């Protein structure tokens, strides 16, 4: 009659069962995605893991084997305290990891180029190239505190904490942020990519099966970060058209004033939809000029590229502060801090301002005069002017 199993062995088995239950409940969306890009990334994870296991598994097995074979009670094991070198063993120890590193490096190099988020898609699934007449669906994404804004310029709608796209149609995301850096991530669709204020980051991806998938921020961005989640719906073309039609029934329009209200920090925002969007709103967000009267970054950079405007430009830029509160619509302009001139030694100013013999080289700044020995007029005080003068 077989002896009963010890109680301790039964307890160990019972303790292992909850671990298996937890594993069964895991959503392995990264390895079972709904997009071709995410699937290729998942395959890359599997291949890389298997290559590393080629070293890890034998090493772990040898640790157990050596511990058993050369245990103190095994008198048959060879005892060689003076042994210090084996050429064949050295070749195995160094060549195997080196070959695996070479394979991993080659795979990483190829995948980095093929899965570049900036690269337009060449296929929607294995063996299904993108047709030449297919236009990608443009989705403009803005990471707000603490919610996601999606703008569909082709459809003329916008949504908060919800997006949708038809199966099989390439998606081109244009991603930016309002205040701090975030990370846009839909595990079922593609890898995460950063959203940064004053910048635009593209991401190309495609859904290859229908469903509702989770999207969130993968970069800590403050108090409401944990609730910064949204639903990404993958539907057929008819379902996507119905979703757009439902959004158009919302009635509200997302213009600059409405955006500045939406931009204010809030948590656990419900899904909101806008039937219309002001033209060029995303470009204003990216250039930090949603607030009326602010010069856009690309305009200021264009002036700087031409040499600037000297003191004539003070009227245009003195209240254009690009910080979170002073320039993003969440706080009124105080107009109390502004750098009006550069301090320098008086003698140095006189030398640089003195006219030179011959025809001096023209200045490249728009609206700037030739240097002269006459003292420059004092810059007007900020309090005397409340409105920037228009560009000449």
State whether the Cα torsion 260-263-265-271 is positive or negative: positive
Q: Which pair of structure tokens corresponds to residue 367?
A: 């609206």
Q: Which pair of structure tokens corresponds to residue 255?
A: 């213009």
Q: 186-200, pLDDT tens digit by residue?
A: 999 998 999 999 899
Query: pLDDT grade, residue 142 (50/70/90)?
Result: very high
State whether the Cα torsion 244-245-249-251 is positive or negative: positive
3-state helix, strand, coil in the chain (%, to 5): 35, 20, 45
Averaged pLDDT for residues 20-44: 75
In the structure, how many helices (H) and strands (E) does the chain have? 9, 15
Question: Cβ(127)–Cβ(36) under 8 Å?
Answer: no
- Give the distance, in angstroms, between the CA of residue 191 and the centroid of all CA atoms in the same chain: 10
pTM for this entry: 0.70
Q: 307-320, pLDDT tens digit by residue?
A: 776 666 665 555 55
Residue 158: strand pairing partners: 151, 274
DSSP 8-class letter at 288:
T
C-alpha–C-alpha distance, residues 172 and 201, integer Å: 10
Tokens 């991603």 identify what position?
A: 175
Q: Which pair of structure tokens corresponds to residue 151?
A: 């703008």
The domains of the chain are located at 26-71+88-115, 125-286, 300-352+363-392
Q: 50-107, pLDDT tens digit by residue?
A: 998 988 998 899 999 988 888 888 888 887 778 888 888 888 888 888 999 999 999 9
Architecture of the domain delimited by 125-286: Sandwich (2.60)
pLDDT at 279 over 50: yes
**pLDDT at site 240:** 95
C-alpha–C-alpha distance, residues 330 and 277, integer Å: 20
Q: Which long-range contacts (CB under 8 A, 24 or more apart) does 61-70 make?
A: none
The 10 Å Cβ neighbour count of residue 220 is 12
C-alpha–C-alpha distance, residues 224 and 304, integer Å: 38
344: phi then psi, degrees, rounded to nearest 5: -155, 170
C-alpha–C-alpha distance, residues 91 and 97, integer Å: 10
Helix, strand or coil, per DSSP, at residue 10: helix
C-alpha–C-alpha distance, residues 72 and 74, integer Å: 6
Q: Which residues contact 35 (CB under 8 A, 6 or more apart)?
A: 188, 189, 190, 205, 206, 207, 208
Q: 355-382, pLDDT tens digit by residue?
A: 445 454 544 444 445 444 444 444 333 3
C-alpha–C-alpha distance, residues 291 and 283, integer Å: 12
Question: Cβ(269)–Cβ(161) under 8 Å?
Answer: yes
Mean pLDDT of the chain: 78
**pLDDT at site 61:** 93
């Amino acid at each position: 009659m077989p002896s009963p199993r010890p109680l301790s062995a039964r307890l160990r088995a019972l303790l292992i069962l909850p671990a298996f239950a937890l594993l069964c409940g895991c959503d392995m969306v990264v390895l079972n995605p709904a997009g071709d890009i995410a699937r290729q990334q998942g395959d890359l994870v599997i291949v890389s893991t298997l290559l590393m296991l080629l070293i890890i598994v034998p090493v772990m097995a040898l640790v157990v084997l050596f511990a058993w074979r050369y245990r103190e009670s095994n008198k048959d094991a060879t005892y060689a305290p003076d042994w210090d070198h084996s050429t064949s063993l050295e070749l195995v120890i160094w060549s195997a990891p080196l070959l695996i590193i070479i394979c991993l490096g080659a795979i990483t190099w190829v995948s980095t180029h093929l899965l570049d988020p900036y690269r337009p898609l060449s296929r929607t699934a294995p063996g299904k190239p993108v047709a030449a007449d297919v236009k990608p669906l443009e989705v403009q994404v803005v990471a707000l505190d603490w919610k996601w804004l999606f703008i569909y310029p082709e459809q003329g709608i916008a949504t908060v904490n919800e997006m949708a796209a038809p199966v099989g149609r390439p998606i081109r995301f244009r991603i930016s942020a309002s205040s701090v850096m975030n990370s846009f991530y839909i595990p079922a669709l593609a890898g995460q990519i950063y959203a940064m204020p004053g910048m635009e980051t593209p991401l190309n991806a495609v859904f290859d099966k229908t469903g509702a998938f989770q999207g969130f921020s993968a970069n800590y961005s403050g108090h409401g970060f944990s609730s910064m989640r949204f639903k990404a719906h993958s539907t057929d073309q008819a379902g996507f058209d119905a979703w757009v039609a439902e959004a158009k029934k919302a009635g509200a329009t997302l213009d600059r004033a409405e955006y500045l209200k939406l931009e204010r920090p809030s948590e656990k925002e419900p899904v909101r939809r806008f039937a219309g969007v002001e033209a060029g709103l995303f470009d204003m967000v990216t250039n930090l000029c949603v607030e009326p009267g602010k010069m856009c970054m690309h305009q200021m950079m264009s002036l700087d590229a031409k040499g600037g405007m000297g003191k004539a430009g003070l009227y245009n830029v003195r209240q254009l502060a690009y910080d979170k509160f002073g320039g993003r619509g969440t706080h009124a302009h105080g107009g109390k801090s502004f750098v009006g001139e550069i301090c320098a030694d008086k003698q140095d100013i006189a030398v640089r301002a003195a006219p030179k013999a011959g025809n001096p080289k023209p200045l490249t700044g728009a609206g700037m005069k030739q240097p002269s020995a006459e003292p420059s007029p004092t810059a007007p005080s900020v309090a005397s002017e409340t409105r920037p003068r228009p560009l000449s």
